[in-house]
Structure 1
Amino acid sequence: MEHESFEDIEVAKILNDDFISIKVDREERPDIDSIYMSVCQSLTGSGGWPLTIFITPDQEPFFAGTYFPKNKNLHGIGLIEILEYINNSWKNNRNEILKTSQSILNTIDSSNRNSSIEFSDDILDRTFIKLEENFDPHYGGFGISPKFPTPQNLLFLLRYWKNTKDDYALKIVEKTLESMYRGGIYDHIGYGFSRYSTDEKWLVPHFEKMLYDNALIAIAYLETFQVSGKKIYSEIAEQILTYILRDMTSSNGGFYSAEDADSEGIEGKFYIWSKDEIKDILGEEDGNKFCFYFNITSHGNFDGKNIPNLIGTDISTEDRDIIKNYIKKLFNYRNKRVPPHKDDKILTSWNGLMITAMAMAGRILKNRKYTEAAERALDFIYKNLIGKDGRLLARYRDGEASFPGYIDDYAFLTWGLIELYETTYSSKYLKRAVDLTEDSFKLFWDEKHGGFFLYGNDSEKLISRPKEIYDGALPSGNSVCALNLMRLSHLTGNYKLDDRAQKLLKNFSKEIESYPTAYCFSMIALLFSKTSTRQIVIVPGNNSVETEEVLNIINEQFSPFNVSILYSNSDKDLKNICSFIGNYQSINGKPTVYICENFSCKSPIIDTLQLKKLFN
């Protein structure tokens, strides 16, 4: 639509003569996008992008749709005809338009009212059963085509497996992650995942790569590595993060947003190969070996060329290192091509997700490189995306930060801070998480019903103030907030935070109950609240090596219902944050572990063998 209409002289003249045209970046202004997407859905029964909205000078909508061709064709009415009709109606029948817009506003207002019911006892089981029904046992993932990674579904299933020991939940996760990696949705030459697959096999992607997808998918691989111990999952996670650090990280440490699907005006051109091209680069024998493993053929699998993939093939153990060398050569060759455009804006919310992934990778993989990347990105945000009034901002680009942050910015960054705390045990990160949470309540909290509004009470006033819990490509800010509040309540001893989390979920309970698989991150929070949470307090001993061994035992485990705190008497900041922490001390100069549950603690543990046994 951009090429057909907005860059077209004929359309431009009509627009400029009779309308004020505003192009909105939905990533910079999710508040506007959310409101007017609701309008489109209520008027047409569906939504999507590009989103086309006609509004009055008072921002009140009266006509909506998604894609319109320039002129009328078999797909429907053309944009030029719509513009002429609306211009005529505005001049000659304005009262009817204003009545229509008022009716739409009333509909939006009623849809924004949440209602509470008690969660059913079996809601978690029903969520699992529905995911099981939608699971594709042949190719992994859920449904048919197009297929989206939906990592929040996988994160829920891992926790459901941990809680119930239902092995099929884990099987769904492993099959999906393995199939996604084997498919063309994964960039086997340069690493990283594309947005979604256009087919059920994960073969042909929409080649756009998004920061948030790669953050959430990396988290799923990292946690599955913890669960299974299978090195393939840690290797894939490391490859994803290698791509991010190499291609998607600014010199100042912030993470860029996305890479386009197109290069030189052709979707996927940067990523596809001919068989002859592979053989020219690698030589006849090595080229044929690579083509055998990665399903490269003369006729191709995408517009006469090939998307490298491992569907139906396995690289033999003896060929693994050789194949890595081939990939290196192909990567260097591919870098000479015209690359896709990089969207180099830095979004606080998406950076929060990648900080989360990097911090978890640092802890789980015992690799300081990832922890440092998380810390650098966080430093970037605190230096460049905090206003003079202390307000978190949403977007940075070319030295300019703008837009008061949304609830997603606060939620995702707080998640990252909690993970960074449990990786480094630096109390400043826990303090920042608490401070951001307090700011969230001041700016976004609905005092009457509970839950967080999308934009703050200090932001531009729009025609409505949405409050959302539905998971789209990303988990909703409210669902992430719910889990953050529960974890922080156990980390700090401030159990009022847990009360707020319960009120938040209850505010959306009727909506969630209607179709729980659309709210899988809320299910993660609900599962956390229904499972007995263990607080693990570690007091370091005199020997730092022994303390490190204890931390490794704790961090190697997949323990989604635990929180951990490292405390020493010299940490005054932690004493101020955690009301209960001052009573814990080391025994006999040894690293000492206190495991507390339901407001009582077991006998302290100083024996690492006993600790291993307990966690295993």
Structure 2
Amino acid sequence: MADKIPNRLIKESSPYLLQHAYNPVDWYPWGEEALQRAKQEDKPILVSIGYAACHWCHVMEHQSFEKKAIADVMNQHFVCIKVDREERPDVDAVYIDAVHAMGMQGGWPLNVFLTSEAKPFYGGTYFAPQQWVQLLKDIANAYKQNRQELDETAEQFAEHLNISDLQKYGLKQNGHQASEEELHQLYRNLSKRFDKEKGGLSPAPKFPMPSNFLFLLRYSHHTQSELALAHVNLTLNQMAYGGIYDQAGGGFARYAVDANWLVPHFEKMLYDNAQLITLYSEAYQVTKNPLYKQVVYETIRFVERELMSEEYGFYSSLDADSEGEEGRFYTFTRDELQKLLKDEEPLFSKYYNITAAGNFEHGRNILHRLVSDEAFAKENELELEVLQEMVKEWKRKLMKVRAKRIRPALDDKILCSWNALMLKALADAYCVFGQRRFLEMALKNADFIFEKIREGNKLCHSYKNGKATIDGFLEDYALMIAALVRLYEVTFNEEWLIQAKRFTDYTLTNFLDKEDGMFYFTDKTAEKLIARKKEIFDNVIPSSNSVMAINLHLLGLYFDNETYQQTSNRMLDSMTPLILKEPSHLSKWAILYYNKLTPTAEVAIVGKQVPQMREEFSVFYLPNMIVMGSDHKSKLPLLADKIPVNGKTTIYVCYNKTCQLPVHTPAEALKQLQAGQQKSKFPVL
């Protein structure tokens, strides 16, 4: 790039912005300098939003933003701003909402045209080069010729953006009480979207959406619904067998473009893999399916190998493309496999469904499975152990080949919220499998966050090159609080819970809208955009409000804090009508609905054998429970007055601050828990 002159993005740390630093487009990062220039020159603004692992973002860059003739049109008529949506989710949320309000499908790249006051009047996603140039010229002309009309349109969109989703959907307090019938109704509405052949939710493309299946695990546990559990198992098996899962190296791609989970969009995101570690860990707890354990272990190895920094922070993502082709790093031709595996290639190709023609572009194959190891071994007259050893050796050889290939680009910024998801995932996996390495990774990551991304009780959103930047958003606090609660539950180190409470109190002071009881996405001290949004819909990452509502429910119990409980109840009360109608987009809220339906169990373990007792508890799937423990004096209200009976480690099972008779084994406590959380009869559909 010696012959190219860099633009302003060269001074940024975001890998996505740096990808555009040598474009001939006169890009600005989002900030006051660009906005002031637009006002001074009375020019419209083009905001182009994407992220480093986004395939079509790269395509549009190569086709349009790298071309001088197109860049000249952009530079002449617009002030051009590039935004990394992962770094500035607040900016992204405003303008993707605007595009939806225009009646268009949102997505990335997101290209939105604004007045000089940053108010949107037109937008879209990917545009082919000729279409893009024509659009630029049409908008530049309209901005000069029909300015008043555009300003009026922009004003209307700005007004729309300031209407909260609660107002939009007519959601308000109504004193709603959770009921069994509504829980079944919620399930029935979710089940209408089940793909009963290949799992997941129809139609394609298919995103994993872990919260949907975490809810189904709870619903199945509560109702003993075999249908709900069967759909979880179908989905998790098909994803683990499919091309969406990296069969050689572990870890999941962002989504599958087809209904069979075969052809992924090959980018690998930290947030997907973290949540899927949690989901497969919980599913193993319920089913004891060894495939789920394998997926968890392999996915954590992938994250450790390819997304973990030397400081124990976790990077954001791996790109879909390498060598100019999507998926090239992960796929193989039949010829490559024959040279590598020789006599074993036919069996390998049968196991992973490899063909000479390939099942992907350029004659390449996406590795995928169709049956279990048990079924394959039986069909091919192999001992199961022999097959599994062969598979391990095949994977080792494939990874050796991949190690010599040109790697997909790494987005090496470290985001607080996504690290919190991974921190919780490691704690979840440790809880279920007892693998000490998982806990050590979690603790090192927690220490990194506290040392590098936290300032007192404030969090920063992004970290790169030794520097933390951007005020924390609600998602940073909400997901970090959830991770710290979980970290407490697997260590019983009360400092983690106390810090979770400090962050919670900070959010109540700086993010809560006391009028409607929901939290804004941005801190009250943050940069003022044209709208201050609230995030309520669960997407590939659960909404920050649903996570906060659960946090407040749990911490309200841990600290006997009525304000927390009331705030959580108020949030759920407002959301309930929408949860019942649209559970697939509100499944984290549905989990809270389940938690509120029956009292959350409060389990206290006191005495010298606390760690061992906690480990024994992890064998059981007990999703509506808080657990605490101490072998000394505790600051927690629910542990105050609880002492070992007759010098033995003692377990207290309590509901609504009322405790049952103390017992000395997890098995005895389990009987009390099963009696306390009555199962409801599952209605036949």
TM-score, structure 1 as length reference: 0.94
Query: How far did residue 450 of structure 1 move?
Result: 0.4
Task: Assess if the C-alpha contact under 8 Å between 1:147 and 1:200 holds in 2.
Answer: yes
* Match in the other structure for 2:355: 297
* Match in the other structure for 2:598: 531
- Cα distance change on mapping 1:251 and 1:2 into 2, 3 Å: same
3-state SS in 2 of match to 1:603: coil
3-state SS in 2 of match to 1:28: coil
Task: Assess if the C-alpha contact under 8 Å between 2:193 and 2:201 holds in 1.
Answer: yes
Task: Assess if the C-alpha contact under 8 Å between 2:318 and 2:409 holds in 1.
Answer: yes
3-state SS in 1 of match to 2:561: coil
* Match in the other structure for 1:159: 218
Alpha-carbon separation, structure 1, partners of 2:579 and 2:640: 40
3-state SS in 2 of match to 1:501: helix
Alpha-carbon separation, structure 2, partners of 1:487 and 1:117: 21
3-state SS in 2 of match to 1:583: coil
Task: Assess if the C-alpha contact under 8 Å between 1:116 and 1:510 holds in 2.
Answer: no
* Match in the other structure for 2:516: 449
Task: Assess if the C-alpha contact under 8 Å between 2:216 and 2:229 holds in 1.
Answer: yes
1:62 aligns with 2:121: yes
**Aligned counterparts, 1:496-515, within 5 A:** 496-515=563-582
* Match in the other structure for 1:75: none
Query: How far did residue 197 of structure 1 move?
Result: 0.8
- AA aligned to 1:455 is T
Alpha-carbon separation, structure 2, partners of 1:349 and 1:123: 32
1:551 aligns with 2:614: yes
Alpha-carbon separation, structure 2, partners of 1:609 and 1:107: 56
1:50 aligns with 2:118: no
* Match in the other structure for 2:682: none
1:437 aligns with 2:500: no
- AA aligned to 2:624 is F
- AA aligned to 1:9 is K
Query: How far did residue 615 of structure 1 move?
Result: 6.1
Alpha-carbon separation, structure 2, partners of 1:144 and 1:153: 15
3-state SS in 1 of match to 2:84: coil
Task: Assess if the C-alpha contact under 8 Å between 2:518 and 2:534 holds in 1.
Answer: yes
Query: How far did residue 469 of structure 1 move?
Result: 1.0
Equivalent of residue 309 in structure 1, options 331, 355, 368: 368
Alpha-carbon separation, structure 2, partners of 1:397 and 1:184: 32
- AA aligned to 1:94 is R
Query: How far did residue 117 of structure 1 move?
Result: 5.3
* Match in the other structure for 1:74: none
* Match in the other structure for 1:130: 189
Structure 2 unaligned runs (5+)?
1-59, 378-383, 675-685
Alpha-carbon separation, structure 1, partners of 2:534 and 2:109: 23
- Cα distance change on mapping 1:509 and 1:116 into 2, 3 Å: farther
Alpha-carbon separation, structure 2, partners of 1:136 and 1:13: 48
Between stretches 198-207 and 83-92, larger displacement belongs to 83-92
* Match in the other structure for 1:336: 404
**Aligned counterparts, 1:9-158, within 5 A:** 9-71=68-130, 78-114=131-167, 115-116=171-172, 118=174, 119=176, 121=179, 122-158=181-217
Query: How far did residue 552 of structure 1 move?
Result: 2.1
Alpha-carbon separation, structure 1, partners of 2:583 and 2:433: 33
Alpha-carbon separation, structure 1, partners of 2:112 and 2:289: 49
Query: How far did residue 301 of structure 1 move?
Result: 0.8
Alpha-carbon separation, structure 2, partners of 1:615 and 1:580: 17
Task: Assess if the C-alpha contact under 8 Å between 2:250 and 2:302 holds in 1.
Answer: yes
1:561 aligns with 2:624: yes
Task: Assess if the C-alpha contact under 8 Å between 1:450 and 1:504 holds in 2.
Answer: yes
- Cα distance change on mapping 1:606 and 1:509 into 2, 3 Å: closer
* Match in the other structure for 1:194: 253
Alpha-carbon separation, structure 2, partners of 1:218 and 1:123: 30
Task: Assess if the C-alpha contact under 8 Å between 2:189 and 2:580 holds in 1.
Answer: no
- Cα distance change on mapping 1:561 and 1:99 into 2, 3 Å: same
- AA aligned to 1:361 is A
Alpha-carbon separation, structure 1, partners of 2:666 and 2:486: 24
Task: Assess if the C-alpha contact under 8 Å between 1:453 and 1:465 holds in 2.
Answer: yes
- AA aligned to 1:233 is Y
* Match in the other structure for 2:24: none
Structure 1 unaligned runs (5+)?
72-77
Query: How far did residue 485 of structure 1 move?
Result: 1.0
Q: Deviations over 1:150-191 (max 9, x none)?
A: 111000000111111111111110110000001111101111
- AA aligned to 1:116 is K
- Cα distance change on mapping 1:602 and 1:615 into 2, 3 Å: closer
* Match in the other structure for 1:402: 469
3-state SS in 1 of match to 2:604: strand
Alpha-carbon separation, structure 2, partners of 1:448 and 1:133: 35
Query: How far did residue 599 of structure 1 move?
Result: 2.1
Equivalent of residue 463 in structure 1, options 530, 535, 541: 530
Alpha-carbon separation, structure 2, partners of 1:465 and 1:126: 33
Alpha-carbon separation, structure 2, partners of 1:513 and 1:457: 32
1:602 aligns with 2:602: no
Query: How far did residue 45 of structure 1 move?
Result: 3.6
- Give the count of matched residue pairs: 599
TM-score, structure 2 as length reference: 0.85
Alpha-carbon separation, structure 2, partners of 1:146 and 1:86: 32
- Cα distance change on mapping 1:611 and 1:390 into 2, 3 Å: closer
* Match in the other structure for 2:282: 223
3-state SS in 2 of match to 1:173: helix
